[in-house]
Amino acid sequence: MKFLVLKKETLLFFVAIGVVLFSLSAWFILKAGDLTVFNQQGAEDIREIHMVTAEFSTKMKNGKEMEAYRWDPGTILLEKGEKVRLSINGINGEEHPFYIEGTKIKGIVKKGEETVVPIQFEKKGTYRLICEVHSDRKTNGPMIAYIVVN
Ligand SMILES: [Cu+2]
């Protein structure tokens, strides 16, 4: 019968402790659940990044025309080991044969066509996606995109 003589305040105190403990454990369980979901990176979990070939062109006051070809976006960010499906649509320029520096990856982007490049890097660093025919200013470039792997 000793338990029944607990004061009301004491009971409230224990109830409050119980609520706090319950909340904490619920929070940890939910958080653990989030992490589990986050770590479920299966073979199908491939991120898609879209890129286009673009062209800037302008006419100088003396009538001279200038142009520059670009990959757009010019910089993309990847996580180390992340699988990415890089989809490049040829908008401006007839053909852009390209390679990715430091890899064996190469291909060609043609006007009106989509070129899909599967990429995955195991080493951190910045990899340049270079168009062979517009690689510097003299050839209406530089048509270089930066793939930054963190
Ligand atoms: Cu090009």
Q: How many domains does the chain have?
A: 2
CA 49 / ligand 1 centre spacing (Å): 19
CA 63 / ligand 1 centre spacing (Å): 24
Q: Are 59 and 95 within one domain? A: yes
Q: Are 70 and 29 within one domain? A: no
Q: From first to last of its 150 residues, what are the pLDDT tens digits of the chain?
A: 555 565 677 767 777 777 777 776 766 656 655 544 444 555 568 999 999 999 999 999 999 999 999 999 999 999 999 999 999 999 999 999 999 999 999 999 999 999 999 999 999 999 999 999 999 999 999 999 999 999
Q: Are 57 and 30 within one domain? A: no
CA 133 / ligand 1 centre spacing (Å): 5
Q: pLDDT tens across 92-125, in order?
A: 999 999 999 999 999 999 999 999 999 999 999 9
CA 80 / ligand 1 centre spacing (Å): 27
Q: Are 112 and 140 within one domain? A: yes
Give the number of C-alpha atoms closer than 13 A to the C-alpha of residue 52, restricted to the C-beta side: 6
CA 99 / ligand 1 centre spacing (Å): 11
**CATH number for the domain that contains residue 130:** 2.60.40.420
CA 75 / ligand 1 centre spacing (Å): 16
Tell me, yes or no, whether 95 lies in a domain.
yes
Helices in 40-143 by DSSP H: which ranges? none
CA 141 / ligand 1 centre spacing (Å): 7
pTM of the model: 0.70
